[in-house]
Every structure is written in structure tokens, then in C-alpha cells.
Structure 1
Amino acid sequence: MTRELPLDIRLMNVTSRALLWLFMLGALAVAGNWLVQRPWWAIRSVRVEGNLQHVSATALRGEALPRLQGNFFTVSLAAAQQAFDQVPWVRKAVVQRVWPLSLLVTLEAQQPLAFWSDGSSVVGLVNTHGQLFEANLGEVQDMALPSFSGPAGSEGRVAQMYAELSRDFAPLKWKIVKLEMGAEGNWRVQVEDGPRLDLGSDHDAQAFQQRLQRFLVLAPRVQARYGRALTSADLRYSNGFAVRLAGVDLPGGKPDSKTTQRQGKAREHR
């Protein structure tokens, strides 16, 4: 018959085994840490893929690569991604370990949609996601980008409105060159070689669309009837719109009778 060991001896045995396991695990951790710190695991290559049209190789070498700290096992992928995200024209970077001893960096480049103005000067670019970013504006001068402006933080809303209006204007082949969002939510548009439009507020989206669609249907008829192009239009009226026609003088800053008559007739045909 086996005699049961006293409780204190059993506790000592359990403690001894636990301490032994802790010692072994600690030794393995120290050995593992020593092993991964060896120069054998230094990163040997960094492969960059993606749309690199505007991304400078010089910027990658000078700004991102020097910030990669550690070897293949110890490098922080989050820190590496942040380093590449800071490179001009990079919207998003994904960094992965690739055996043997390499990093794969996949870059998503910024796609410029428009210049962003603070009302007096261009301060940056807006990408196709409606995000403001900084870049060398000289690199996009030949892209004929439109100009956006609006309250701080409204870049996404302005980009969304641009997309909506571009679809609405497509049947008339109107191209937007300037889009402004006022502090009160009023919208103004300049069409290339076309009229300047005061669209009013879009707080009531349904009413805004009704005013806009009514104008887009009737504007070509107004131009055809009077044989003159529209230079501006005010769509803020609930039951019509006012227009100004090319070649009509406005002495003293006030519409003459001819202009007033045409505006009145334009309202009559809505």
C-alpha cells in the first residue's frame, strides 16, 4: 500500500516543478531573443509595388527606408507602414514580411480629383475619396483639375456634390471647373465656357434636385429661344429661376429692361 506524502512535501514538489518550468521557459525566451537579434536576420531587400506614378523613389529611400528599425523578425510592420504613409503621394501602404528576409510594400497612390482653395489661394489637393492631401502642385498643373472650396472639413461633401452634379450635367456636356460650398451650405458652380450657377442650399435634398432638374431641362430651351448663351443663373427660387444672357449690358450694375424681360419670360416657360 502506497503511503501518501505529507501535504507540505507535496506542495514543495509542485513548487519545485513550477519553478523548473519557469526557469526553462525563461531560458528559452532569453535564447530566442538572443537568436532573433543576430545579424543573420537583417532585412536584405524591400520590394515596392503599386501605382508609383507620382511616388518618388528618392523620397522612399530618403524618408521611409531609414525609419525601418529592426530585422526581419523584430521590425514593427505598423511603424513601417506609417513610415511609408508619410511619403508624398502615398495614400495607404501595406507592409508584409516575405521569406527569405524581405519586406513587400504595396502602395496605394493618391488620385487627385481637384485643387482645394481656402477662398484666396490653393492650399492642397482633394483625392477621389474626398480627402485633403498635400503634394507638389507643379506635378498636376497639366491635369486641368477643377477647383473646390468650402468650410474646413467639408472636402468629402464637396467631392460628393461634384460627382452628383457631374452626372446631372453630363447630358448638356457641361464640365465643372469650380465648385464652392458656402458657410451656410449654399452651392455655386462655374461651368467651363458656360454659366456660373447659384444653386442655393441643399438642406432640403428633394427641393434642391427639383430646382436643378427643372433648370437643366429648360436652360437649353431658353438659349435656343433667345439665340444667346447663358452667362449666369440663380436657382434659389422655389418656382423658377433667373438667368443672365450673353451680350446683354447691365449699366450701373442693374439689369436693363431687356434683361428683365428675358428673365421674366424665362420664368413664364417653367
Structure 2
Amino acid sequence: MRKLTAKFLPGKKKAAPRKRRRTRRPDRRRTLGLFLTTMLFGVLLGFGWAWWSGWAMTARAELASWAVEKSIASGLIVRKIEIEGYAETRRKTILDALGVQAGDPILSLDPAKAQAALEALPWVQTAAVERHLPDRIRLHLTEREPLALWQSNGKLALIDVEGVVIQRGKLARFRTLPVVIGGSAPKKAQALFATLGREPELAARVATATLIGRRRWNLRLKNGVEIYLPEEGLATAWATLSEYERLEGITQHKVTVVDLRLEGRLVVRIPQIKTKPGHRPERET
């Protein structure tokens, strides 16, 4: 009879039940407290900076005042003001803009501020301000160059080569300058007169220049003859007219208009003939 042997097999372990993690909700009170703390810190920092800035500015002003007082005691005062390059601007006007006069502390001069004030004067184009210790200030000015009179809304103004208005009144001594007409004429006048100046004899006879459609010019000579200039090829057309003028004196005859708008053509209009009303003869050259 067999002997029975009992064998015990290890049983499977049951998995331990997992603990559920509780999802934490953000602590609103803590977040709000942090936000308020940050804001309070920012406000305090802002007030601190404002106070410090005001104190710093005050201290700087007091230091500057102290330096000026010490400079006076040391003999750093203005005794001489030299001005170069002015003809149209009065000396008193320049000194008023400078803001410093003889006897003032030389350190009280702010060169950058003085330069801006001088360049704001109508005739002054550029200004250089130099402070030479212990007692000398030197100014070098460049005044604007008159180019023409600009007619706008029936009124005249003097303009320079950059199209800047120099003055609007007291223009009698500038009556010999040509007159430009048109809203954009001042800015375009320099280029026009530079081209016309290539033929100086003819250019000297120009009385007015009217900008047409911001694209081209019509000229009126001093004898009343009108010149219609082209939009393109202005220099060539002007040289052609100058050549005809030298050879034939074309604008000296009984003509009213010389039309140069068509490339390679010169059209001359003469006064209307009474026997043929409505007919305007033209001669092409």
C-alpha cells in the first residue's frame, strides 16, 4: 500500500487595495494672499522710486546750483561772446535765443539747449555752440539761402533751397527772385532751378514757375511768354529751347507759348489773328 504524501502549493497573493489619492484643490486663500502681497510690494516699490527720484532730482539741482556759485567765485563768468556767420539775423535776437549774457556764470550755459533755440530762429539753418573756459562763448551760425518767393492763397513767402519758409513779411528787397506757385512747389523748386541754371542766360529771364499736378512745371518769362515744360526729359527740353533762343531768339518774337511737352518737338503759339476768330495758329519746329 502506497504512502500518501501531502504537498502544499503556495497560493496567489491578493493585491492590496490601492488607496485613492485625494486631488487637492488649489488653496484660493493662499493664492489671493500671494497676489495681494505682490501688489503691495509693487506699490511700495513705486512710491519708493518716486520719492527717491524726486530727492535725486532735488539733490542734482542743488549740486548744480552749488557748482555755479563756486564757479562764480572762481572767476568762471562770461566775459566775451563771439558770433560768426550771421548777416540777416540781428545780434540781439541771437543773444536772446542763447539765454546767456556777459556777467552770467559760464557753467549756466547748456550748449545743446542753446543750439536748439538758435536753430529755431527763422534765418538760422545750423548752429554750433562752444564754451571755452574760463570766460568765452563762441557761436558759429549758418544762415539759410533764399531761393524764391512762394505764392500761396494770394500771399507771398520767402523760401530757401530746402523749401523752408524763412519769412512772410518785409519782402520788398527779394522781389527780384522768381515766384513759385503750387502747394508742393517749395519742396520741388530746388531741383527745378538747378536744371534751369544750366542755361543761366535763359534762367535769368524766368519770372514765375507754376507746378502743374505735382508733376511738371509751366514757366512765365519776364516778357510774358509761357514755357510748358515736360514731365520727363526736362534738362534736354530746356537745353533745346536755349539753343533755339541763341540761334533765332524764339521767345523774342510775337509768341505767347512755347510748348516742350512732346519729346523731340517744339510747338510755338502766336497771338490769334483777328480775321480768323477761334483759330490759333501753331508752328512746329
TM-score by length of 1: 0.66
- Match of residue 255, structure 2, among 209, 217, 230: 230
Range 133-142 or range 73-82, more displaced: 133-142
Conserved 8 A contact 1:174-1:192 = no
2:130 aligned partner: 96
Which amino acid in the other structure matches residue 216 of structure 1? Answer: S
- 1:212 aligned onto 2:268: no
- Match of residue 155, structure 1, among 186, 190, 193: 186
In 2: Cα distance, 1:254 partner to 1:239 partner: 30
> What value does the CA root-mean-square deviation take over the aligned residues?
3.4
Q: 1:47 to 1:236 in 2, by over 3 A?
A: same
Conserved 8 A contact 1:176-1:192 = yes
Q: 1:96 to 1:238 in 2, by over 3 A?
A: same
- 1:200 aligned onto 2:234: no
Q: 1:229 to 1:51 in 2, by over 3 A?
A: farther
Report the Cα offset of residue 250 of structure 1. 5.7
Secondary structure at the residue paired with 2:183?
Answer: coil
Secondary structure at the residue paired with 2:229?
Answer: strand
Report the Cα offset of residue 141 of structure 1. 2.8
Structure 1 gaps of 5+ residues are: 1-29
Conserved 8 A contact 1:185-1:201 = yes
| Equivalence map 1:29-48=2 (5 Å) | 34-38=66-70, 39-40=72-73, 41-48=76-83
Which amino acid in the other structure matches residue 135 of structure 1? Answer: Q
In 1: Cα distance, 2:244 partner to 2:170 partner: 40
Secondary structure at the residue paired with 2:197?
Answer: helix
Greater percentage in helix: 1
Report the Cα offset of residue 227 of structure 1. 8.3
Conserved 8 A contact 2:162-2:190 = yes
| Equivalence map 1:57-76=2 (5 Å) | 57-61=91-95, 63-66=96-99, 71-76=105-110
In 2: Cα distance, 1:239 partner to 1:75 partner: 62
Please identify runs of 4+ aligned residues in structure 1 that moved more than 4 A. 30-33, 171-174, 219-224, 250-255
1:185 aligned partner: 215
Secondary structure at the residue paired with 1:117?
Answer: strand
Which amino acid in the other structure matches residue 45 of structure 1? Answer: K
Identity among equivalent pairs (%): 18
Secondary structure at the residue paired with 1:138?
Answer: coil
In 2: Cα distance, 1:134 partner to 1:110 partner: 8
Which amino acid in the other structure matches residue 262 of structure 2? Answer: Y
In 1: Cα distance, 2:252 partner to 2:94 partner: 57
2:10 aligned partner: none
- Match of residue 173, structure 2, among 125, 137, 141: 141
Structure 2 gaps of 5+ residues are: 1-61
Secondary structure at the residue paired with 2:141?
Answer: strand
Report the Cα offset of residue 96 of structure 1. 0.3
Conserved 8 A contact 1:150-1:158 = no
Cα deviation code 1:207-248 (max 9, x no counterpart): 334433333333555657x98343321211234232223xx3
2:158 aligned partner: 125
Q: 1:35 to 1:141 in 2, by over 3 A?
A: closer
Range 34-43 or range 86-95, more displaced: 34-43
In 1: Cα distance, 2:252 partner to 2:178 partner: 29
1:116 aligned partner: 150
Which amino acid in the other structure matches residue 272 of structure 2? Answer: D
In 1: Cα distance, 2:203 partner to 2:182 partner: 25
Cα deviation code 1:174-195 (max 9, x no counterpart): 5222112223412111122252
